[in-house]
């Protein structure tokens, strides 16, 4: 939550910061602000609301300094307002912050007693006061930051400027992501890679406890003990174009249409058709460990949790290992029974979701092996897990997860195949069939995307419905949950996902002629039962939108609207079913005029508990 950027170098600083914030706005959009030097002084411009409000405030104003910091906010402490917007400045010190300072109230009292006057309700403001306190005591900028950080409890990614020193930008990280971009004669800091991609692909990924001192000539990084450390730069192979809208009205629509490409990139180099196996070289699993696995825990939040639920079906089917799928925020608070011969798999687009990260730490503490499935390279989950498998979806900017979900399902399919083959539960021939079908999936996804106009018409037809039900069974049930989540989060229409068999235990009371019910009715071993559920809805005059197998005339006759899903294995059908549900949510939201890419109250990565 919240995004920070910083720049030191010869370019027009305010422009670099604003452009960077545009690419970080998915992290929060309650207010935005920048601090830049002009005629030797730090000038702050900040404004409640989206970045466009800040741009309007700045107008044609120019600044002559070569260093600056910027922030886009997702409010935690203090409502969205101009006063609570970052940067916060005390004395000579200006700060932008992503994270939460837990002991800010006690520190605030101490600082107040020393004469500091606060102007915001934020936890962040105490950081600028605290550092300024030590600067006033005569410490160097770097020393003042280090001493202040020792006193702070909580999480932070920080960008800090000092009035009077235009050759100094300090960055610090603890439990909130922060990267440093290495340009030629210029350096960048940001909460994530995309804002820096137009300038360089060489990055330093900061570790917890590290503090970096950036000047226009060099970057020095210090570890938690204060010793200078040498950091190996890493090259990121995302291109800046990947983080552009590319002619689409919204990032979400672009990302929905990118899914076939994202799946191809995710399976590339990871299939051995000859061996009928997945090649997960990035996971150097010890085969003896695989043979000893007692249970697998799939832990995630939101959309990634729905991928976990699908993963449970895949792994149990291919590997016959019991799997528990759990929500990150629930897992660690139930004193989970997990240990040495268990495998914990965390699934996360950002790799920074606080609840998922906490679950991983808890499982590791109890002796389990941890594998992370992540999209963001070098994210916290990726670094803290014993093994990592990256989804190669490319940057996902829309707050609603789309292409990363499809690629998570693909990785879970590959993981289940790999373990199933290793355990001898899948034969080479069975593995080959699975691979053959997986390779067809991107093409089938393209086919599915051709239904977008039809889905748009359905969205228009049901635009005024206030509630939706989504029903699915078996491996399609998590997709019902995902469809409902997509609709809720971007169109603000109430929606519930249910296992179809549960309908008669309660939700059936909701059904009337106003209520659209989306039924996932593709052919599999529970198909007949889903047909009965459709009959039950129709008997109560509910409106049914069915997602059915190609040319399933029986379903088509019974329902109000039908979208045909290309034929594939039941284990791969969830990937295809997701597409029309994403499109339905997208068009409903777009027709309603909501802010599709930045829905209200949400942030792309939830780095607070
Ligand atoms: O980055 P993560 O995959 O860990 O994020 C988890 C959820 O916050 C995320 O999936 C969220 O539910 C999305 N807004 C769903 O579209």
d(CA 475, CA 342): 23
Stated length of the chain:
609
Ligand 1 centre and the CA of 433: distance in Å? 32
Half-sphere exposure of 473 (CA within 13 A, CB side): 18
Q: Exposed/middle/buried for 593, CB within 10 Å: 0-12, 13-18, 19+?
A: exposed
pLDDT > 80? residue 399? yes
Q: How confident is the model at residue 549 (pLDDT cuts 50, 70, 90)?
A: very high
Task: Choose the weakest-confidence range: 476-480, 523-527, 560-564, 602-606.
Answer: 602-606
Q: Exposed/middle/buried for 80, CB within 10 Å: 0-12, 13-18, 19+?
A: middle
Q: Would you say the CB of residue 303 lies under 6 angstroms from ligand 1?
A: yes
Q: Would you say the CB of residue 128 lies under 6 angstroms from ligand 1?
A: no
% of residues, the chain, pLDDT over 70: 100
Considering the domain delimited by 3-243, tell me its CATH architecture.
Answer: 4-Layer Sandwich (3.60)
Ligand 1 centre and the CA of 544: distance in Å? 28
CA dihedral (389, 393, 395, 401) in degrees, to 10, reads: -100
**Beta-carbon count within 10 A of 261 CB:** 16
- Asked if the peptide bond before residue 87 counts as cis, ω within 30 degrees of 0, the response is yes
Q: How confident is the model at residue 600 (pLDDT cuts 50, 70, 90)?
A: confident
pLDDT for position 27: 80
Atom of ligand 1 at shortest range from CA of 301? 6
Ligand 1 centre and the CA of 195: distance in Å? 20
Domain range 450-592, CATH class: alpha beta
Cβ-based neighbours of 308, under 8 Å, separated by 6 or more: 298, 299, 300, 325, 326, 345, 347, 412
Helix (H), strand (E) at residue 47: strand 41-48
Q: Would you say the CB of residue 482 lies under 6 angstroms from ligand 1?
A: no
Residue spans in the chain of domains classed CATH 3.40.50.10490: 253-441, 450-592
Q: Would you say the CB of residue 76 lies under 6 angstroms from ligand 1?
A: no
pLDDT > 80? residue 395? yes
Is it true that domain 253-441 has CATH number 2.60.40.420? no
**In sequence order, what are the beta bridge partners of 190?**
5, 179
d(CA 412, CA 423): 16
% of residues, the chain, pLDDT over 90: 78
Q: Would you say the CB of residue 182 lies under 6 angstroms from ligand 1?
A: no
Q: Tokens 């800040």 label which residue?
A: 54
Question: Which tokens is 316 given?
Answer: 């149990």
Q: Exposed/middle/buried for 521, CB within 10 Å: 0-12, 13-18, 19+?
A: buried
Question: Which tokens is 236 given?
Answer: 């990121």
Mean pLDDT within 90-106 = 93
Residue spans in the chain of domains classed CATH 3.60.20.10: 3-243
Centroid of chain to Cα 206? 19
Half-sphere exposure of 517 (CA within 13 A, CB side): 30
Pick from 256, 303, 372, 490 the residue to mutate for probing ligand 1's pocket: most ligand atoms within 8 Å of its CB. Answer: 303
pLDDT > 80? residue 243? no
pLDDT for position 211: 97
Atom of ligand 1 at shortest range from CA of 303? 10
By alpha-carbon position, which residue is closest to atom 7 of ligand 1? 302
Mean pLDDT within 65-93 = 93
Instruction: Give 142-162 pLDDT, tens digit per residue.
Output: 999 999 999 999 999 999 999
d(CA 293, CA 319): 10
The residues carrying an active-site annotation are: 2, 604
Ligand 1 centre and the CA of 396: distance in Å? 11
d(CA 89, CA 43): 10
Q: Exposed/middle/buried for 227, CB within 10 Å: 0-12, 13-18, 19+?
A: exposed
By alpha-carbon position, which residue is closest to atom 12 of ligand 1? 302
Q: Would you say the C-alpha torsion 459, 461, 466, 472 has a positive or negative sign?
A: negative
Q: Would you say the CB of residue 402 lies under 6 angstroms from ligand 1?
A: no
Closest CA to 331 of 313, 315, 366, 355: 355
Q: Would you say the CB of residue 84 lies under 6 angstroms from ligand 1?
A: no
Pick from 327, 353, 356, 407 the residue to mutate for probing ligand 1's pocket: most ligand atoms within 8 Å of its CB. Answer: 353
Task: Choose the weakest-confidence range: 73-82, 193-202, 358-367, 453-462.
Answer: 73-82
Helix (H), strand (E) at residue 27: none
Q: Would you say the CB of residue 13 lies under 6 angstroms from ligand 1?
A: no
Mean pLDDT within 83-98 = 96
Ligand 1 centre and the CA of 582: distance in Å? 14
Instruction: Give 171-218 pLDDT, tens digit per residue.
Output: 999 988 899 999 999 999 999 898 999 999 999 999 999 999 999 999
Pick from 301, 379, 581, 594 the residue to mutate for probing ligand 1's pocket: most ligand atoms within 8 Å of its CB. Answer: 301
Q: Would you say the CB of residue 585 lies under 6 angstroms from ligand 1?
A: no
Q: Would you say the CB of residue 85 lies under 6 angstroms from ligand 1?
A: no
Ligand 1 centre and the CA of 409: distance in Å? 14
182 near 203, Cβ under 8 Å?
Answer: yes
Q: Would you say the CB of residue 382 lies under 6 angstroms from ligand 1?
A: no
Q: Would you say the CB of residue 400 lies under 6 angstroms from ligand 1?
A: yes
Q: Would you say the CB of residue 401 lies under 6 angstroms from ligand 1?
A: yes
d(CA 143, CA 424): 58
Pick from 27, 349, 356 the residue to mutate for probing ligand 1's pocket: most ligand atoms within 8 Å of its CB. Answer: 349
Instruction: Give 412-445 pLDDT, tens digit per residue.
Output: 999 999 999 999 999 999 999 999 999 999 999 9
Ligand 1 centre and the CA of 483: distance in Å? 14
Ligand 1 centre and the CA of 604: distance in Å? 7
Question: Which tokens is 50 given?
Answer: 């989206």
């Amino acid at each position: 939550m919240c995004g920070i950027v910083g720049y030191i170098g010869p370019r027009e600083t305010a422009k670099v910061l604003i452009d960077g914030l545009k690419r970080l706005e998915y992290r929060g959009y309650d207010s935005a602000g920048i601090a830049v030097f002009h005629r030797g002084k730090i000038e702050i411009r900040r404004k409640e609301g989206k970045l466009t409000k800040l741009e309007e405030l700045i107008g044609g104003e120019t600044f002559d300094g070569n260093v600056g910091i910027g922030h886009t906010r997702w409010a935690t402490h203090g409502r969205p307002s101009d006063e609570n917007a970052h940067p916060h400045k005390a004395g000579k010190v200006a700060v932008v912050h992503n994270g939460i300072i837990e002991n800010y109230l006690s520190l605030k009292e101490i600082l107040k007693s020393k004469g500091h006057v606060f102007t915001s309700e934020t936890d962040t403001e105490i950081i600028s006061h605290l550092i300024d306190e030590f600067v006033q005591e005569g410490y160097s900028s770097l020393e003042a930051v280090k001493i202040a950080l020792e006193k702070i409890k909580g999480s932070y990614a920080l960008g800090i400027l000092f009035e009077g020193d235009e050759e100094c930008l300090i960055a610090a990280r603890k439990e909130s992501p922060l990267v440093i971009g290495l340009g030629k004669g210029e350096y960048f800091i940001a909460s994530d890679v995309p804002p820096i991609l137009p300038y360089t692909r060489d990055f330093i990924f900061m570790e917890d406890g590290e503090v970096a001192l950036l000047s226009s000539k060099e970057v020095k990084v210090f570890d938690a003990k204060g010793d200078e450390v040498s950091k190996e730069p890493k090259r990121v192979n995302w291109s800046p174009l990947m983080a552009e809208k590319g002619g689409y009205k919204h990032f979400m629509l672009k990302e929905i249409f990118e899914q076939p490409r994202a799946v191809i990139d995710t399976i590339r180099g990871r299939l051995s058709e000859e061996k009928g196996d997945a090649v997960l070289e990035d996971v150097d699993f010890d085969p003896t460990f695989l043979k000893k696995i007692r249970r697998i825990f799939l832990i995630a939040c939101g959309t990634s949790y729905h991928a976990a639920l699908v993963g449970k079906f895949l792994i149990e089917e291919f590997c016959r290992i019991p799997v528990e799928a759990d929500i990150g925020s629930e897992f660690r608070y139930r004193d989970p029974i997990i240990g040495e011969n268990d495998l914990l798999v965390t699934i996360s687009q950002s790799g920074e979701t606080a609840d998922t990260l906490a679950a991983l730490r808890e499982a590791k503490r109890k002796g389990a092996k941890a594998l992370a499935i992540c999209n963001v390279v070098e994210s916290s989950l990726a670094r803290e897990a014993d093994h990592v498998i990256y989804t190669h979806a490319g940057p996902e900017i829309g707050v609603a997860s789309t292409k990363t979900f499809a690629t998570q399902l693909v990785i879970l399919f590959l993981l289940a195949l790999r373990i199933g083959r290793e355990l001898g539960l899948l034969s080479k021939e069975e593995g080959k069939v699975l691979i053959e079908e997986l390779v067809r999936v991107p093409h089938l996804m393209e086919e599915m995307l051709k239904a977008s106009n039809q889905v748009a018409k359905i969205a228009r037809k049901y635009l005024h419905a206030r509630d939706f039900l989504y029903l699915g069974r078996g491996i399609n049930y998590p997709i019902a949950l995902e469809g409902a989540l997509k609709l809720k989060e971007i169109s603000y229409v109430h929606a519930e996902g249910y296992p179809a068999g549960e309908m008669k235990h309660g939700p059936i009371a909701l059904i009337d002629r106003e209520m659209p019910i989306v039924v996932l009715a593709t052919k599999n071993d529970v198909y007949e039962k889903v047909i009965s559920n459709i009959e039950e809805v129709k008997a109560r005059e509910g409106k049914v939108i069915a997602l059915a197998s190609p040319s399933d005339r029986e379903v088509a006759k019974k329902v109000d609207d039908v979208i045909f899903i290309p034929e594939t294995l039941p284990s791969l059908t969830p990937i295809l079913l997701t597409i029309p549900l994403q499109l339905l949510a997208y068009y409903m939201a777009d027709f309603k005029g909501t802010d599709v890419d930045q829905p209200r109250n949400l942030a792309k990565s939830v780095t607070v508990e």
